[in-house]
Structure 1
Amino acid sequence: MTALTHSLKDNPRLDRWLCFQDDRTVRIATGKVELGQGILTALAQIAAEELDLGMHQVRMMSGNSLEGPGEGYTASSWSIEHSGAAIRLVAAEVRAMALVRAALRLNAGIGELAIDEGEFLRDGAPTGLDYWHIASELDLAVDATGTVPPKPANAHRIVGTSAPRLDLLAKLTGSGFIQDLVLPGMLHARTLRQPGRGATLAVLDEDAIRRRAGGDIRIVRVDNFVAFVSPDETVVRAAAAAAAERALWDNAVKLRSEQATPDWIAAQPSHDRLIGDPLQEAMPDCISVRFTRPFLSHGSIAPSCALAEFSDGMLTVWSHAQGMHPLRVNIAKTVGLSLDQVACHHVQGAGCYGHNGADDAALDAALVALALPGQPIRLSWRREEEFAHEPLSSAMAVTVHAALDKAGRPADWTTEIWSAAHGQRPGVGGAYLLAADALKTPPPARKPFDIPEDRGGGATRNGIPLYDVGSKRINYHLVHDVPVRTSSLRGLGATLNVFAIEGLLDELADRAGEDPFAYRLAILSDPRARRVLLRAAAMAGWSTRGEGGSGSGMGLGLAQYKNSSAYAAVVAAVEVDEAVRVTNIWCAVDAGLVINPDGLINQVEGNIVQAISWALIEEVRFGDAGVASLDWESYPVIRFTDIPEIRVELVEATEHPSLGVGECAGGPAAAAIGNAVAHALGIRIRDMPMTRDRIVSALMQ
């Protein structure tokens, strides 16, 4: 018997996942949603494989809160590990049920039958019977048993191939995103955003706003929530911009520039706990090094958007948020409707890994729709609103402490972390949707909470090194009272934790007079980790690395994401003058059984590109009026012209289960760049982003 996965334990009924449809296709449902990672294509491949169907015979239904399975949020690189494993077991069990029924119909032994694109063959010959002939005879309103093993890897014909993306055509033709969705009679809306929890609207010059709008608008006000509505999107955009200038607020939140810094975070009161091995007595040879990173924005390509309609007592919401079942619960609770009066449906958005403004925009649209029943509302945030009010990824400071043995190897390790929470998705740990703060009875203040270690950890993610160390632990300082919302962004705390761990390992190797690659191998027994490290070094030609210090450098980074998902080793080559230019990246990945190689490589490449941007460029800044980096000039991200040559190779590991890959290369890539910069300069930059100013400052010391 195969153990049921998390998703299947929570949604055991087969018909929640699979349905034979009248058009001779099979509908496969998933609670996970497409964020650009290609999971709907990969999940369709898994279903087609186990059911012996063609890809053209599979229809994916994703993020339907009424009909599909509830799988929480699409996060933590768990879509293939959890939803894929569930679909694999469901499809295998339904196939077995269908074979039993077909054998009875054909008076044949099960061993005589095979399936090809849904048709039953007997000794290789067509029988005229297929899934859809017997579908009504199959009782799928039963719980999965996990007693039917999926196909072995050597029997796969679809899994392991680079099937084309199912969603690509719509995106290329301008209909693939929620920003493209049009409903009959749709009205457009924009909001006036409350400047922080507890702020109250004292004055709103509606006449001036209407004049600036340049057309007819309706103003919807619910306590301190305000929205502008019109059939003309240009009009409401102008109204929202004018309102931001014409509104006067009491108790508006004020920020100070120093509050955006890791130093400020580390100086705040914290909730402390120790994770891992007990603290050891002080050892004589101990090294401590500090690394930091700033607050980060998601930098989504398009601002958050949602559509909503309240009709006949039913509120329907279309959103690009990462969990439709949680969104349904959170909206119903906030607006005071019963759960059966709310339906949430996922529509893809233009870019996001993590908790940006999508959930909040959905509540915004719902509030307007409830005020204007019978009319579809399309509410979009402005770019400034996205940067100013979406949850940020917390600034962090990490000090790594290593006690060394006589050979210069780490015998004891502590990763000490100061950070605000990385897990404040609505409904988790007392977190809530943004506009709830503007209503008459706002929710209570959130209690200190971050993602627990059995869910991958938040700030602590990848804080335990993968290497062979006698004892190792995390000393976590969770800072609760920060002046902005913080939540999940791709990789969470793993990016800085890996950057710090791998940075210290390079310094220890240098202290021992050893090559950093050889030093790592000497303290690394995990065979899968060793394989990716060896592969990446071979890809990059590590043996030709040279002494460094000449402005050109090469560095490496290694991690297993969450110490449980995919392994990634990255080598980076850089050139440094007054700024850093990454010239080449080589990456080796072990993701277990790979469903779609091209899709996986695309994800790893995208993760590397984002890590380069974080390592070198991105930083949120605060000002008196709040977040000060409100556009692409004040919050720049990497440009196409700055993307290096990236080579990714997959290490064969089909004997192992599929592992999540969407975030596995971010930490190793940032670490490899940091180590390459240190090799190029002979000086280590321990603070991200490694900007021109920091490079110049280091060179002048």
Structure 2
Amino acid sequence: MDHSRRDFLKTAGCLTIGFSLTQLPFAGAALPLQELPGNLKEYSNIDAWLEVLANGSVRVFTGKLELGQGIRTAVAQVAAEELELPMEKVTVALAETEVTPNENYTAGSTSIETSAMSVRYAAAAARERLLELAGAQLNLAPEQLHLDNGKATTKNGDRSVSFAQILDGHKLSGEIKPGVKLKPKKDYTTSGTPVHRDDVPQMVKGAPVYVQDLHFPGMVHARIVRPPAYDAQLQHYNEQAVKAKVPGLLKVVANGSFLGVIATREYDAVQAQQLLSQHTEWSKGTPLAGSHNLAEHLASLPVKSETVREKGQAISSPTLQARYFKPYIMHGATGPSCAVALYNEQQQLQVWTHSQGVYPLREALQQLLQLPAERIHVKGVPGSGCYGHNGADDVAAEAALLAMALPGKPIRLQWSRQDEHGWEPYGSAMLMDLAATLDDKGKITHWQYALRSDTHGARPGGQAANLLPGRYIAKPFKPEGGGYAGGARRNSEPYYNIPNQQIVAHAFQGPLRTSSLRSLGAFANVFAIECFIDELAEKAQQDAFAFRLAHLDDERAIAVLQKLKTMLPPAPAASGTAVGIAFARYKNSGAYCAVAAQVHIKSDYSIQVQKMWAVVDAGEIINPDGVKNQTEGGMVQACSWTIREQVTFDEQHVTSRDWISYPILSIKQSPEVEVALIPRPDAEPLGAGEAVQGPSGAAIVNAVYRASGKRIRHLPILPEKLKG
């Protein structure tokens, strides 16, 4: 895991392809450069994306990190397809500074659309160049050859040369041009077929696959002593009280209000953390507001407003008005955030992290530590997961600070469950106000939507202020507030045909720290819109399917709804049991997704989500298993958000610090799930990893209404909301 690219080249018998990660835009392109996908315009050399090895295999580079979404498998599939290789001959190197392209963050369901498609073009360009060189050796035109399992072979198979022979004494170099010839999709044998992920068996066996599993010779362990409140300041600590009781303590690191301990064993570090916490004094901190009635508090906060859409006339006499609310929710990663950092004798910092953006993290560390970028190397290692910005960047920055205080030792820092729940950046609470007018034919003529939200994007992005320890060191970096505003308005525009629309986004700064969580604002926006659509359908006295279809003209949107309808069983006869539906197109430009949920209301008013169905159109699908897995997991996660999860806090800090105070859906409580895909191999691939979140929540809420007669507009749907 700690091999550099240079070490790999020395030991693997690799034949390189004109290595250059920084390229000038190439000249003489037949088509506009922007027609190339992803980051190919910044990294236009083949070797930035793959290496051909002497043994006939290929190593592919992606700037994306494996988060459990299966990107490693999908990227390998497209490379194997274009280079006519079996899957076992393709390995994928994940995000690492100075090794892989800088593809920013693994986020927004864009990895297939960008990274996998970049690799497809790079592999196709490599194929063309390999055939050209092989043809020169065999005195044949490239068109008379094809690649086959690490060799270039004549059509009749009577002559061939291996990759090693092709490249002997040569470096394969060249640009990836828009005119590169891709393999015809009708000839695909690997891409578009189900391929099982080879990392899943390792996870099941408990093999070391995560950053939490890393171990280095001489590695020591660390923990952070946390303040009682966000802005509490360190007043005093008694180091001697800890040294006397923890002989394994190596060092106490204090930098402003950043306080950490380093010990020989992990247990020693935990003991030292607990003891030092008892012998530390902090300032009180500013009280947090809104814990008793969060929705009311958020509605009272000052806002910065932005018009998202203004089309036609404003609403005058609405047929229906409603307010919806989503609380703060957390990533709740199964494995608490972890990192390893080493500051060596050459004053080089190495960081192993499950950050979703190794290059942006390096930029932020450069500012935090006042180190030049060339002295910081960041390697991405899968973590025991989450989708979004949890504590991965924070723990990496904390480990780096500690490593610089104790050079020469690999320092492993793992957060506790209390750290993870109490200090991660949450998904923002949101308020959504809707109003609409129906005409006498039951069609929506006017639509008004106003959302309120904190930021959904405060990733490091080169800013030390967005790293938790950056706020506590002696010369702190102050967060400016705001962040990525587009995350809040994601899917705030309905995908339906409505002639008059007014949509406004109001940004507030709330009491808790927030950033990116799977689907960002789309979960709350689709929940509100699709529940409101169901309410309007009832007002119009129309079936939920028919009402939606009447407001759609996109054939692909219509197709997922029609397919979903065919999958559903007859209406449940049992009392307190019903089915609800919802639809959305993620970002209004990504995958299409329709969801149905069957719920049962128990005698104690608790909700059992019995089964969920989803239909997904993600355009060209590289790995059907991967899309199904993402959708199944997304349905279960959204189910948990909808009926169970909410961050709680008091005037001092977050109080939901464990799995009891922040309960998530257990395996036994999870619904049965069924996913159908509508493959469109000739269409562009669309990101599908976050498409199901919003429709899932709305479908459950709509089903609860049909089963109980109670229209729940404030999440989560706790039993007490159904009583009375």
For Structure 1 versus Structure 2, the TM-score category normalised by the shorter chain is over 0.9
| Residues 1:562 and 2:587 are matched in the alignment | yes
Query: CA distance change for structure 1 residues 401 and 428 in 2, over 3 Å: closer, same or farther?
Result: farther
User: C-alpha displacement at 1:251, in angstroms?
Assistant: 4.6
| Residues 1:301 and 2:334 are matched in the alignment | yes
Residue type matched to 1:535 in 2?
K
Which residue of the other structure, out of 613, 633, 650, is the alignment partner of 1:623? 650
Query: CA distance change for structure 1 residues 511 and 656 in 2, over 3 Å: closer, same or farther?
Result: same
Structure 1 CA distance for aligned equivalents of residues 312 and 278 of structure 2: 54
Query: CA distance change for structure 1 residues 146 and 140 in 2, over 3 Å: closer, same or farther?
Result: farther
Question: Contact 1:97–1:138 (CA<8 Å) still a contact in 2?
Answer: no
User: C-alpha displacement at 1:446, in angstroms?
Assistant: 1.1
List aligned pairs for 1:227-238, cutoff 5 A: 227-238=260-271
Q: Deviations over 1:442-471 (max 9, x none)?
A: 1233142324xxxxx311111111111113
Residue type matched to 1:536 in 2?
L
Query: CA distance change for structure 1 residues 623 and 141 in 2, over 3 Å: closer, same or farther?
Result: farther
Query: CA distance change for structure 1 residues 126 and 30 in 2, over 3 Å: closer, same or farther?
Result: farther
Aligned positions, number: 688
| Residues 1:105 and 2:137 are matched in the alignment | yes
Which residue of the other structure, out of 674, 681, 694, is the alignment partner of 1:647? 674
List aligned pairs for 1:283-432, cutoff 5 A: 283-311=316-344, 312-427=346-461, 431-432=465-466
Which residue of the other structure, out of 475, 485, 489, is the alignment partner of 2:513? 485
Structure 1 CA distance for aligned equivalents of residues 460 and 173 of structure 2: 32
Residue type matched to 2:358 in 1?
M
Question: Contact 2:457–2:483 (CA<8 Å) still a contact in 1?
Answer: yes
User: C-alpha displacement at 1:140, in angstroms?
Assistant: 4.8
Question: Contact 1:261–1:295 (CA<8 Å) still a contact in 2?
Answer: no
User: C-alpha displacement at 1:438, in angstroms?
Assistant: 1.1
Query: CA distance change for structure 1 residues 256 and 282 in 2, over 3 Å: closer, same or farther?
Result: closer
Structure 2 CA distance for aligned equivalents of residues 247 and 679 of structure 1: 54
Structure 2 CA distance for aligned equivalents of residues 600 and 365 of structure 1: 35
Question: Contact 1:430–1:447 (CA<8 Å) still a contact in 2?
Answer: no
Structure 1 CA distance for aligned equivalents of residues 396 and 228 of structure 2: 19
Structure 2 CA distance for aligned equivalents of residues 306 and 468 of structure 1: 48
Question: Contact 1:260–1:622 (CA<8 Å) still a contact in 2?
Answer: no
The match for 1:540 is 568
The match for 2:294 is 261
User: C-alpha displacement at 1:284, in angstroms?
Assistant: 2.9
Structure 1 CA distance for aligned equivalents of residues 268 and 176 of structure 2: 53
Query: CA distance change for structure 1 residues 257 and 478 in 2, over 3 Å: closer, same or farther?
Result: closer
Which residue of the other structure, out of 499, 505, 521, is the alignment partner of 2:549? 521
Question: Contact 1:256–1:622 (CA<8 Å) still a contact in 2?
Answer: no
User: C-alpha displacement at 1:659, in angstroms?
Assistant: 0.9
TM value normalised by structure 2: 0.92
User: C-alpha displacement at 1:252, in angstroms?
Assistant: 2.6
List aligned pairs for 1:6-405, cutoff 5 A: 6-135=38-167, 140-171=172-203, 172-196=205-229, 198-211=231-244, 213=246, 215-256=248-289, 258=291, 261-278=294-311, 280-311=313-344, 312-405=346-439
Question: Contact 2:328–2:426 (CA<8 Å) still a contact in 1?
Answer: yes
The match for 1:671 is 698
Question: Contact 1:46–1:87 (CA<8 Å) still a contact in 2?
Answer: yes
The match for 1:551 is 576
Residue type matched to 1:460 in 2?
R
Query: CA distance change for structure 1 residues 373 and 131 in 2, over 3 Å: closer, same or farther?
Result: same
Structure 1 CA distance for aligned equivalents of residues 327 and 491 of structure 2: 18
Q: Deviations over 1:227-263 (max 9, x none)?
A: 1111110111122123333321125343245277233
Structure 1 CA distance for aligned equivalents of residues 641 and 467 of structure 2: 27
Structure 1 CA distance for aligned equivalents of residues 168 and 179 of structure 2: 23
Question: Contact 2:121–2:182 (CA<8 Å) still a contact in 1?
Answer: yes
Question: CA RMSD for the aligned pairs?
Answer: 1.9
Query: CA distance change for structure 1 residues 605 and 546 in 2, over 3 Å: closer, same or farther?
Result: closer
Q: Deviations over 1:549-598 (max 9, x none)?
A: x4111100101111111111111101113111101111111111111111
Question: Contact 1:217–1:235 (CA<8 Å) still a contact in 2?
Answer: no
Query: CA distance change for structure 1 residues 135 and 262 in 2, over 3 Å: closer, same or farther?
Result: farther
TM value normalised by structure 1: 0.95
Structure 2 CA distance for aligned equivalents of residues 138 and 582 of structure 1: 61
User: C-alpha displacement at 1:169, in angstroms?
Assistant: 4.1
Question: Contact 1:573–1:582 (CA<8 Å) still a contact in 2?
Answer: yes
Structure 1 unaligned residues grouped into runs of 5+? 452-456
Structure 1 CA distance for aligned equivalents of residues 514 and 213 of structure 2: 29
Structure 2 CA distance for aligned equivalents of residues 242 and 419 of structure 1: 39
Structure 1 CA distance for aligned equivalents of residues 212 and 154 of structure 2: 49
Question: Contact 2:289–2:511 (CA<8 Å) still a contact in 1?
Answer: no
Question: Contact 1:305–1:358 (CA<8 Å) still a contact in 2?
Answer: yes
User: How high is the sequence identity, in percent, across the aligned residues?
Assistant: 38
Structure 2 CA distance for aligned equivalents of residues 558 and 347 of structure 1: 35
Structure 2 CA distance for aligned equivalents of residues 537 and 645 of structure 1: 17
Structure 1 CA distance for aligned equivalents of residues 236 and 473 of structure 2: 17
The match for 2:12 is none
Residue type matched to 1:111 in 2?
E
Q: Deviations over 1:648-669 (max 9, x none)?
A: 0111211111111111111111
Structure 1 CA distance for aligned equivalents of residues 107 and 100 of structure 2: 18
Q: Deviations over 1:392-414 (max 9, x none)?
A: 11111111222222312112222
Structure 2 unaligned residues grouped into runs of 5+? 1-30
SS of structure 1 residue aligned to 2:401: helix
User: C-alpha displacement at 1:429, in angstroms?
Assistant: 8.0
Question: Contact 1:263–1:397 (CA<8 Å) still a contact in 2?
Answer: no
Which residue of the other structure, out of 490, 501, 504, is the alignment partner of 2:532? 504
Structure 1 CA distance for aligned equivalents of residues 292 and 117 of structure 2: 43
Single out whichever of 459-468 and 408-417 deviates more from structure 2.
Answer: 408-417
SS of structure 1 residue aligned to 2:39: helix
Structure 2 CA distance for aligned equivalents of residues 121 and 143 of structure 1: 24
Single out whichever of 352-361 and 85-94 deviates more from structure 2.
Answer: 85-94
Residue type matched to 2:507 in 1?
L
Question: Contact 1:308–1:365 (CA<8 Å) still a contact in 2?
Answer: yes
User: C-alpha displacement at 1:213, in angstroms?
Assistant: 4.2
Structure 2 CA distance for aligned equivalents of residues 126 and 260 of structure 1: 78
Structure 2 CA distance for aligned equivalents of residues 430 and 375 of structure 1: 24
Query: CA distance change for structure 1 residues 66 and 493 in 2, over 3 Å: closer, same or farther?
Result: same
Structure 2 CA distance for aligned equivalents of residues 674 and 425 of structure 1: 31
Residue type matched to 1:573 in 2?
Q
Structure 2 CA distance for aligned equivalents of residues 278 and 447 of structure 1: 30
After TM superposition, the runs of 4+ consecutive aligned structure 1 residues lying more than 6 A away are none
The match for 1:454 is none
Question: Contact 2:230–2:653 (CA<8 Å) still a contact in 1?
Answer: no
Structure 2 CA distance for aligned equivalents of residues 248 and 127 of structure 1: 78
Query: CA distance change for structure 1 residues 246 and 651 in 2, over 3 Å: closer, same or farther?
Result: same
User: C-alpha displacement at 1:212, in angstroms?
Assistant: 5.4
